[in-house]
Structure 1
Amino acid sequence: MSTESASPPKREIPARTAALVVAAGRGSRAGHGDTPKQYQLIGGAPVLARTLHALDCAGTIDAIQVVIHRDDMPLYEACMAGLSLACTLLPPAIGGETRQRSVLLGLRALAQHVPDRVLIHDAARPFVTKAVIDATLQALARGDTGAIASIPVVDTLKSTSFGTNRVDETVDREQLRIAQTPQGFRFDTILAAHEDAARGGPGDLTDDAAVAQWAGETVRFVAGDPANVKITTAEDLMQADRKLTLENWAARGDIRVASAYDVHAFEAGDHVMLGGIEIAHGKALKGHSDADVVLHALTDAILATLCDADIGHHFPPSDPAWHKASSDRFLAFAADRVRERDGAIAHLDTTVVCEEPKIGPHREAMRARIAEICGIPLSRVSVKATTSESLGFTGRGEGIAALASATVRLPFCPDETD
């Protein structure tokens, strides 16, 4: 038997409930450059990653098939990096020139896994809930061939003649619903409907319920959720990011503030490392590592918010592994320790105490580098400088000191014990 005529092997999904996530669009209305909206960040994570996580959290989906644009594989792979799902994430399918075509190609990719049911969902709806998913699947379990999430129209609707802006009439909203996704179907039914539509259907339809209805199938409404919005515009992205950011901060109600101090003496050299950048100077700072006094102080301040010892404990100067090491490794380690606790760095502040070099010309570069190392916005990093009015070792030009403070937010654990 020739390989051309052989059918792909069937690989069954245990409970045979699949989700098909349509992520092949360009998202031009979102207005964020060349990156499609499904890969834009909201609350620190890509829209698509949040959508897949929401579907997975329902606990009733066995496999997810994502349909992507042919040019988006690098974006997709970056989006999936670090995403852990309980269900099976199948290799992505490549979509077509329209949403309807993309869904068909996704359904064909799913066919080899013989699912019983499929939930077709927009990648740009990251706020879908377990209740909406369960309602859709329950309708299919009752024997419906199709079910779609929807919400009532609550605003008064008016119709107008095209281009006139004149109110012609008030539309009765009692019979109207706003369609959402997921839209659930018996798999064989919706695949056959899409195949028929592709062979000679009514043209491009805007959702899968319309395809099923065109094929003569009955589709029923189930309760959707007003929060299950579709991200379409740049304003939608901003609102979604704001919502998630506020939720993230609210969930981290354990606010901790700590301070730290570090000092390094001068030795012969031609530059100093301060705040992660190299600054030309007539002397160098003496230390086992690169002696970046600013990053050392910030590292200790962050570790202190976690009650996690100090830089010398984690990177002892007696260890040759850290000889001449770049101090950005120390600060990144401290920031990672915060993330491991599901925390967030809310603010970092440092004051550099020295007569020379002048810090002002390098302040913004230092802020940017510190923000980059810690993975936080530039607006959450402050760098200041002062002299000691020619007093003490800094005033005599014998070294540089740095004071730092860190504000960290951790999840509140009322039952936490020593």
Structure 2
Amino acid sequence: MSAVETNETVAAIVVAAGRGIRVGGGVPKQYRRVAGQAVLTRTLAALAAHAAIARIQPVIAADAADFFQECLADLDPAIRARIATPVEGGATRQMSVRAGLEALAAEAPGIVLVHDAARPFIRPDLIQRAIEAGRDHGAAVPGVPVTDTVKRVDEIAPGIGRVTETPARESLRAVQTPQAFAFGPLLKAHRAAAGQDLHGFTDDGALAEWANLTVVVFEGDGDNRKITRASDLIEADRAFSSHPDPSAGAPAMTAYVTRLGTGFDVHAFTEGDHVWLGGVRIPADRGVLAHSDGDVALHALTDALLGAIADGDIGTHFPPSDEKWRGAASDQFLAHACELVRARGGKIDHLDITVLAEAPRIGKHREEIRARIASIAGVPLSAVSIKATTTEKLGFVGRAEGLAAQAAATVRLPEEEGA
């Protein structure tokens, strides 16, 4: 008889409230991008690829709402529909898991999987084994054999320990997630531990053991590794570079080469009442003299992308001698360059623009410009930067005769393209 006798619904809690700063970069590891998508995005997609999981409950830090929304934006709408509104986690992993359990309590699934956000390599077959083990035993964790000899030690000095035991490694398992439990008993165990002010459990299997539940270990997956260090992010980036279908299993390995392109554009002022910058119409006491709309920011950025893929410049693709482009909106130029990058299997990592002008000031328009460029290029807002500077009254910019922009674009191309 199954350990879950009535409600067979399966839900998954994704624990993403940790700071994860050991990987560096100032951004928690679950929000760092690998092959263009956040680690958490890939983890959510992998879980959602399993049809048996009816609901996914994320648990995030209180200040991570913007990061999380960026993760959702990269997911298919059908996947987003199965992801519940995230709840705020606690100071420990145990507190965060309990927050996820309490959020699910009203619907009380039969089985709950608890999974680390930083394990994006989870395969469908491992999820299936977890569900089956949870149903059969009520408390089950995946484990893989330990290949190194393990020593138990007593510390006698900083960094020095006296060996007290050498356990037989044949009986040892390195435990992973997702861990699977009958929902009711796990929630009860969490509430009991919290009631006794016990918050140090780093693994739900250990908490279940404390609550006198019988915990079994089922076959894990050696490739279901956790991202912990900066080198793990590099490896994950390489592994996910082929953008595999999550239902297809482990990602294929495709090597990418990083390219940096730069661009520059300048336009003289003329009569008018506005200028276009970054796809945004900005009121001004003058306009610019140009064949198209004269958006120096988008022109420079278009050239930067074309430079990164070694495909000419904006004049090559949109010659000013062609009346077709007279007065044209520059967003189509940037969109074309982005499409050329993607047509080669490339990925746009970052777009950076500096506007050089005495006027107009762009400070109050900065976020609107970033959002517009992100929309045109099809990249997250976090991948777009725009800055402005004057030239200290020097040159044509300093004399307020015109304005200019310089841009840099970082892209990745498949190695055979970059060769």
Asked if TM exceeds 0.5, the reply is: yes
CA contact (8 A) 1:95 1:101 kept: yes
After TM superposition, the structure 1 stretch with the greater mean CA deviation from structure 2, 166-175 or 52-61, is 166-175
Please state if 1:44 is matched with 2:22: no
CA contact (8 A) 1:149 1:224 kept: yes
Instruction: Give the match for residue 119 of structure 2.
Output: 125
Instruction: Give the match for residue 4 of structure 1.
Output: none
- CA deviation vs aligned residue, 1:326-356 (integer Å, no higher than 9, x gap): x4x2342124435776931699xxxxxxxxx
> 1:251 and 1:114, CA in 2 relative to 1: closer, same or farther beyond 3 A?
same
SS in structure 1 of the partner of residue 334 of structure 2: helix
CA distance in 1, matches of 2:197, 2:35: 41
- CA deviation vs aligned residue, 1:92-116 (integer Å, no higher than 9, x gap): 1111121111111110111112311
CA distance in 2, matches of 1:15, 1:54: 21
TM-score (norm 2): 0.63
CA contact (8 A) 1:302 1:334 kept: no
CA distance in 1, matches of 2:121, 2:186: 25
| Count of residue pairs the alignment pairs up | 319
Q: 1:138, CA displacement in angstroms? A: 1.3
CA contact (8 A) 2:111 2:180 kept: yes
Q: 1:27, CA displacement in angstroms? A: 1.4
User: Counterpart amino acid of 1:337?
Assistant: E
Instruction: Give the match for residue 67 of structure 1.
Output: 59
User: Counterpart amino acid of 1:81?
Assistant: A
- CA deviation vs aligned residue, 1:206-242 (integer Å, no higher than 9, x gap): 1111111111111111111111111122332233223
User: Counterpart amino acid of 1:155?
Assistant: D
> 1:90 and 1:203, CA in 2 relative to 1: closer, same or farther beyond 3 A?
closer
Please state if 1:27 is matched with 2:27: no
SS in structure 2 of the partner of residue 161 of structure 1: strand
CA distance in 1, matches of 2:111, 2:57: 13
CA contact (8 A) 2:92 2:200 kept: yes
User: Counterpart amino acid of 1:290?
Assistant: G
User: Counterpart amino acid of 1:76?
Assistant: F
Instruction: Give the match for residue 213 of structure 1.
Output: 209
Instruction: Give the match for residue 99 of structure 1.
Output: 93
Instruction: Give the match for residue 189 of structure 1.
Output: 185
1:276-287 to 2 correspondence within 5 Å? 287=291
Instruction: Give the match for residue 133 of structure 2.
Output: 139
Instruction: Give the match for residue 390 of structure 1.
Output: none
Instruction: Give the match for residue 262 of structure 1.
Output: none
- CA deviation vs aligned residue, 1:181-202 (integer Å, no higher than 9, x gap): 0001111111111111111165
CA distance in 2, matches of 1:294, 1:93: 42
Q: 1:295, CA displacement in angstroms? A: 7.2
SS in structure 1 of the partner of residue 240 of structure 2: helix
Q: Give me the identity figure in percent.
A: 36
> 1:60 and 1:339, CA in 2 relative to 1: closer, same or farther beyond 3 A?
farther
> 1:299 and 1:223, CA in 2 relative to 1: closer, same or farther beyond 3 A?
closer
CA distance in 1, matches of 2:127, 2:152: 33
CA contact (8 A) 1:285 1:291 kept: no
- CA deviation vs aligned residue, 1:49-98 (integer Å, no higher than 9, x gap): 11101111223211100011112112212221231243611111111121
After TM superposition, the structure 1 stretch with the greater mean CA deviation from structure 2, 97-106 or 337-346, is 337-346
Q: Which among 336, 339, 343 is matched to residue 337 of structure 1?
A: 339
> 1:250 and 1:67, CA in 2 relative to 1: closer, same or farther beyond 3 A?
closer
CA contact (8 A) 2:305 2:341 kept: no
Q: 1:31, CA displacement in angstroms? A: 2.4
1:240-389 to 2 correspondence within 5 Å? 240-245=236-241, 287-290=291-294, 317-318=323-324, 322=328, 325=329, 327=330, 329-338=331-340, 343-344=345-346
- CA deviation vs aligned residue, 1:299-334 (integer Å, no higher than 9, x gap): 8999999xxxx9569xx8447761xx3x4x234212
- CA deviation vs aligned residue, 1:372-409 (integer Å, no higher than 9, x gap): 99669x9xxxxxxxxxxxxxxxxxxxxxxxxxxxx996
Instruction: Give the match for residue 200 of structure 1.
Output: 196
CA distance in 2, matches of 1:231, 1:299: 31
SS in structure 2 of the partner of residue 104 of structure 1: helix
- CA deviation vs aligned residue, 1:99-140 (integer Å, no higher than 9, x gap): 111111110111112311110001111111111100011113
CA distance in 2, matches of 1:317, 1:339: 26
> 1:144 and 1:304, CA in 2 relative to 1: closer, same or farther beyond 3 A?
same
CA contact (8 A) 2:43 2:121 kept: yes
> 1:222 and 1:299, CA in 2 relative to 1: closer, same or farther beyond 3 A?
closer
Please state if 1:175 is matched with 2:167: no
SS in structure 1 of the partner of residue 85 of structure 2: coil
Instruction: Give the match for residue 53 of structure 1.
Output: 45
CA distance in 2, matches of 1:346, 1:199: 49
CA distance in 2, matches of 1:268, 1:211: 69
Instruction: Give the match for residue 84 of structure 2.
Output: 90
Q: 1:28, CA displacement in angstroms? A: 3.0
TM-score (norm 1): 0.63
Larger radius of gyration: 1
SS in structure 1 of the partner of residue 12 of structure 2: strand
- CA deviation vs aligned residue, 1:263-295 (integer Å, no higher than 9, x gap): xxx99979xxxxx9xxxxxxx986344398887
> 1:267 and 1:206, CA in 2 relative to 1: closer, same or farther beyond 3 A?
closer
SS in structure 2 of the partner of residue 106 of structure 1: helix
CA distance in 2, matches of 1:312, 1:337: 15
Q: Which runs of 5+ in 1 are unaligned?
A: 1-13, 254-265, 271-275, 277-283, 348-368, 379-406, 413-418
CA distance in 1, matches of 2:141, 2:47: 15
Q: Over aligned residue pairs, what C-alpha RMSD do you find?
A: 4.5
